[in-house]
Every structure is written in structure tokens, then in C-alpha cells.
Amino acid sequence: MEPQKPTASITWDDNGQPISSEFGDVYFSKNSGIDETRFVFLHHNHLPERWKNLTADAVFTIAETGFGTGLNFLTAWQAWREHAPAQATLHFISVEKFPLTRGDLERALSLWPELNNLAMQLLAQYPPVDARGFHRLNFGSVQLTLIYADAIAGFSQLLPIEHAGPYVRSRACGFSQYTRANNIDAWFLDGFAPAKNPDLWSDDLFQLVARLSHANTTFATFTAAGIVRRGLAAVGFTVEKVPGYGSKREMLRGHMTDATAAFSEPAGKYNTSWHLVDLSGEPVRNVAVIGAGMAGCHTAWALAQKGLRVTLIDEFGPGAGASGNPLGIVYAKLSHTSGTLADFNLLAYLYACRFYHAQGFFQSGGEACGVLQLPEQPEQDAQLKQIADIFARSPEFARWLSGEEASAFAGVPVASGALLLPQSGWIQPHQLCQTLARHPNIHLISGRRVSRLSREESRWNLLDAQDQPVADADTVVIACSIGAAGIAQSAHLPVKKIRGQISLAAANTTSSALKAVLCGEGYIAPAMDGQHCLGASFVLRTDETALSWDEHQQNLARAAAISPAFNELAVADLNQGRASFRCTTPDYLPIVGPLPQADAMVEKFAPLRRDARSIIDSTGSYHPGLFINIGHGSRGLAYTPLCAELIASLIADQPLPLPRDLIQALHPARFLIRDLGRNRI
């Protein structure tokens, strides 16, 4: 988690309009901000006309420099609903270095009553301003990727590869063929005026705008400043001065005419491109997903939402394995420090909360009762308080409660203060999986197990243990948890299974008062149908599936350590529980992305054995049309929604919901590259 960063400092004029204290500039025209947005950004990017001519399944992408109050986004969303085909998709990508607090955003948007319905939907999903990074917000046919970062840093993470030199392209990594960067169709260049915020309007920004554009990309901006006109012309845009809005004499608009102007030949070191995947060929139309647990069902649903036909296959049906527990907690241990795992934890947790609230899973099949994280050791008390301090401006997301406050919130006495996550709670995984699998674009095959994959003529054949066909598809996602180790193409991945047993204990008069989920060394949830679900054990190096009395007692002891209200809980008989196996990885991060051809990958990147910093001008070797989504450990409810959106975006070739650095951190090829660099293979 990054150190605390500033939010926007707002003053309000006599008409209730927001003014940036940092830049001494207005967020929108004082006369009519919404009309200015329509004139500058919609009209001069020719969006209504372009949208009317889109095909039914088209994807259109807008990028914006400066989210501000969200007025441009909401206005574009409104116009999209009026002019675009119902099944088309709008991606809106916006960066914001100084995000408005939720309260300031709500106050600013109240100035536009005609946008109220859309504004309420935005506010319901608006991420905490203290959570830096990428946030994917889904609104049906409209998807907003809101990036809390400096524009250069944020947009750089959209590029498929980072180079040591400024914006130099590798000979082997043409963007038209690999995980695409140049998918922006229109730019809203809307930062504060160049005279007020010159750091934004830099050559680096113009280079990025060009690198993220294609031959038909347009731009519009309210400013006519020479630095902007010259900067955009230098990177390949035809730039035109036209009359501005209202009292503004001139503004700029234009389109890309020389998509190579921003690129030069390689000069010096640039990063090895082992993670890039060839996306050339016919668009994907149908996908087979192996495994109908949380990872598989979320993946199938995310793909189906993007208009793809999905075949979902599971030996036991939706919600088996670890996803068959009667209750699960939407929970990811947040950290008081920054780092890859901590950053992914936070973004995945936030995405999961938005997803479950927006899709109604907390309302049916769960409860957003809040989660109280208690310190497991005395020193963790200070760490949890640090997390609360980081999110001091977002108390709706996380805040510290004293012992007295925590006890009142929980309904039972707790021994210490706690970190409250008020948007979280519990969900029934089995019901979740079944609901996701009922999407009209998903065909479910139960009672069949896929044991082997064979590719013939650009299609995958999925076969059972007797080599009988189960299904076929042009693209496959392996999402069967530890079962992936039994499929040849994924057998090289370093996954391991860890046994976990949950226990069910009848609620008594004292324990029934529990109103929130309590998490310490173990967890306990409010009673459902007269029973508490508590757990879970953590047992290494075993294949045992039978329920254990010892593990029941361990779960009860952990619950009693959380609160004396649970001292008298008991498990009635051995069968009052469930044991299953988590699929975990060496670095505790999931494995999400394209599946490498292990032998070819090792051969191609063998020079890393001699020097882990070797620069190899080559992309990786991957099985065509084969992806994987496994390794979520005990965080399945929190991790799988975002990982599914990542997989679906990769397969559908749409803008990705995570920054490049985290995509590489989750990448299935990371273990081969690390082991080569350490000379272990």
C-alpha cells in the first residue's frame, strides 16, 4: 500500500461550484459545465456520429487526463446510452492525481440534476481516495477504469512493456500483435490549464497519448495553448484550432495521422518481453472453462458479460470443492505497508465488495454486516491502527474502533480494538456459484471431468480420462484449482494444496447476539439457520479428507479467544463441518493469465541462467488460446472477481483492469522466469 497521498483541496464559490486550491482553477465552466463538456469533448471528437455507426458488439474506448468531478464521464455515459447500440461496450479510462473525497464529489455532482441517476451509481462504487492504483467500476455496457495516480505513471501502466529509454519500442514487440496498448479511440485532454498545471502538459504525456492511440484516434481539449498544439503535432496528430466554448476564443481538436511519429528505434536496454502474448488471428467467440468453483464461475460470468459463449465444465457441478462451504468471508488481510501482495490484496478486495454489492449477492445469499479484524498478536494492534490512519479520509471503507466501540458493533464483547471493514460481510459460495453459472451465455456441463487437452486446427478438444470428448472451444481457461496439476499443459506450475476444515456450532443465547464477522487467528460469522460457521484449520502435507475432531476443537478454541461469548460453543458431532483443499502458490499470489509452453519458454530464456539481468529481445512462448485462473488460497471470495475480469479482458482483447506491474506479478510464466534467473531449472 502506497503512503498516504493528497486528495483534492476544494474551495466552493458563491454559486456552489468547486475550485481547485492546488491549481487555482475551476473544474468546469461556471456558465454551463455540462454544455461545455458536450461541446468540447463529445462534439469535437464526433462521438454521437461515430457511436451511431458502431456494430452491435463493438468496443469503444475513451481516455481522459483528469477525472475531477466525473462530469465528463457521466456526460459521455449519458450520450452513449442515447447513441450507441445496446450491446456495444464503452470503456472510459481516466487518471486523477488528486481525487475528490466522496463527499466533495457528491456535492459537485448535485449541480447537475439531469445526471442524478448516473451520479448515484458512480457514488455507490466510488473507490476510497486513499487507495492508489487501478479501479475497475462496472456499469453494465459502460466500464470505468479510474486510476488514482499521476497521469504519466498511470497511463504508462497501460503499455504492455516498459523500456529503460523513454518510450522506445522493441523490434519484437509491435503493439498491433501483442497484448494491445493502442486501443484508445478518443482522448479527453482535460487537466487543469497549462498555465496552472504545466507539469501535466509535458512531452512525456504527449508521447504516451500517441503510443496509446491508433490511426483513427481523435482528441479534443478546451485549451489552445501552443505547448499543447506543438506537443501533439510532434507525436503524429493533425491539430486544428477551432472556436472554443462560450467566452473561450479557441480550442484544439485533431486526429492521429502518423502512428509511428512517437516511436524511435531501440536505443539501449529495455525490459525482456516474456509476458507478452500473441493476440493475432480471429477474435474469440467461444470459451470452455474447466472448473465451476468460485474461480471458474466468476470467469465464465465475466466472459459471458463480454458477449462470449461459454461452456462451463465441472465433475460435481457449481460450487463444489472449497467453494462448497456453507459460508465464506469477503476478506483480504490489508497491510500497513506497500508491496505487490499488499497492493493486489487491496484492489482485489475493493473490486469484490463493489461486485457483490452491485450484483446483489450481499442482499440475497449473504449479508454486508461488516468485518472486524482483531490483532492476532499484541504488536498487530499498532499495525491495524496504521491501516485505519491510511484510510482516514475514507471511513466508509475502513476505520479503527476502540474495544468498547468494537464490542458494541459486534454485539458481543471483544478483548481489544479492531479494524472495521464496514462494506464487507459473508456470502454463501455455493449459491454464488450457482447464480453466476445461470448466465444466459453459459452452457453448464456437470458430471464430466476434463483430464486432457488436445489442440487441432485452431481449436481445443477437451477429453475425459477415457479420451472421450467432453467439449471443444477455440479458447480454454483452466480454473479447477489443484486439479490443474493433473492437466499436462499446467502440470509444471508450483501449486500446493492446504487442507482447511470449517466447523458448524449451534448458536446459544449469548452467541446469537453476534452481528458482525470477527476475524482473528480464526473467524466466526453471525448465526445462519441457527448455526455459526467458524474456522478454518490450516494443515500442510496431507491428503486426508475425513473430518477431524482435533480440528473442530482448534476452531472452537480460536473462536473463544476472539470473545468469551463463544466459550460454550460446541460441535454436536463429527460431521458438523466440512474439509476441503485450498490451492496456494509460493508467493501467495494467484496464477492468472496465458499459459506458457514450459519447455519452449525455458529454451528461449535460457540465457537468464547465466545472467538474470540479460536482455532477450523476444516474447514468450504460449499455448495459443489457453489461459489459467487458480491459486487463490483462502481468499477466493475476495480474489476471484477481479482475476476473472482480468482473464475475460485478456481474452476479449479489451482494456485491462490492473496495471502492467500487477499483471506481471500474477502471470503464470513468472515462476519459470524466476527459476531461470536463479539457475534452478
* Buried residues in 239-276 as b, exposed as e (16+ CB within 10 A): beeeebbeeeeebbbbbbeebeebbeebeeebebbbbb
Cα–Cα dist 664/658, whole Å: 10
DSSP 163: B
Domain 370-425+496-584: give its CATH superfamily.
D-Amino Acid Oxidase, subunit A, domain 2 (3.30.9.10)
Q: State the CB neighbour count (10 A cutoff) for residue 55.
A: 9
Q: Cα separation of 271 and 165, whole Å?
A: 10
In the numeric block, which cell numbers belong to residue 11?
474551495
Query: Percent of the chain at pLDDT above 90?
Result: 80
Residue type, 281: G
Give tens-digit pLDDT for 606-633: 999 998 888 887 789 999 999 999 999 9
- pLDDT single digits (tens) 457-516: 889 999 999 999 999 999 999 999 999 999 999 999 999 999 999 999 999 999 999 999
Select the more confidently predicted residue: 171 or 154: 154
Alpha helices in 137-257 (DSSP H): 151-156, 203-211, 226-234
Cell numbers given for 400: 479503527
In contact, 400 and 388? CB cutoff 8 Å? yes
Q: Are 536 and 500 in contact (CB under 8 A)?
A: yes
What's residue 23's pLDDT? 54
Q: Is the dihedral of CA 320, 326, 330, 336 positive or negative?
A: negative
pLDDT value of residue 517:
98
d(CA 519, CA 421): 11
A 10 A CB-CB count for 75 gives 23
- Closest to 477 in 3D by CA, of 273, 336, 645: 645
- Write out the three cell numbers for 432: 454464488
pLDDT surpassing 60 at residue 144 = yes
Q: Which CATH architecture group holds 25-256? A: 3-Layer(aba) Sandwich (3.40)
Does 587 or 25 have the greater pLDDT score? 587
Q: Mean pLDDT score of the chain, rounded to an integer?
A: 90
Nearest to 595 by CA among 678, 666, 658, 662: 666
Query: Does an H or E element contain 142, and which?
Result: strand 142-148
Check residue 1 and give its pLDDT.
42
pLDDT in tens, 161-174: 764 333 333 333 34
628 by DSSP, 3-state: which?
Answer: strand
pLDDT of the residue at 163: 45
Instruction: pLDDT band for 180, please (50, 70, 90 cuts).
Output: low
Which carries the bigger pLDDT value, residue 197 or residue 98?
98
* pLDDT of res. 112: 92
| CATH class assigned to 286-321+430-495+586-677 | alpha beta
Which of 427, 436, 429 has its CA nearest to residue 367?
A: 427
Q: What is the pLDDT of residues 511-554, one digit of tens each?
A: 999 999 999 999 999 999 999 999 999 999 999 999 999 999 99
Residues 18-50 have pLDDT tens digits of: 766 565 566 566 557 899 999 999 999 999 999
3-state secondary structure (DSSP) of residue 444: strand
Residue 678 has what pLDDT? Answer: 93
Q: pLDDT (tens digit, 9 = 90+) per residue, 247-300?
A: 889 999 999 998 777 765 443 344 568 988 877 777 898 999 999 999 999 999
Give CA–CA dist 75/389, Å, rounded: 35
| In the chain, domain spans | 25-256, 286-321+430-495+586-677, 370-425+496-584
What's the pLDDT at 176? 38
Cα–Cα distance for residue pair 186/46, rounded to 1 Å? 9
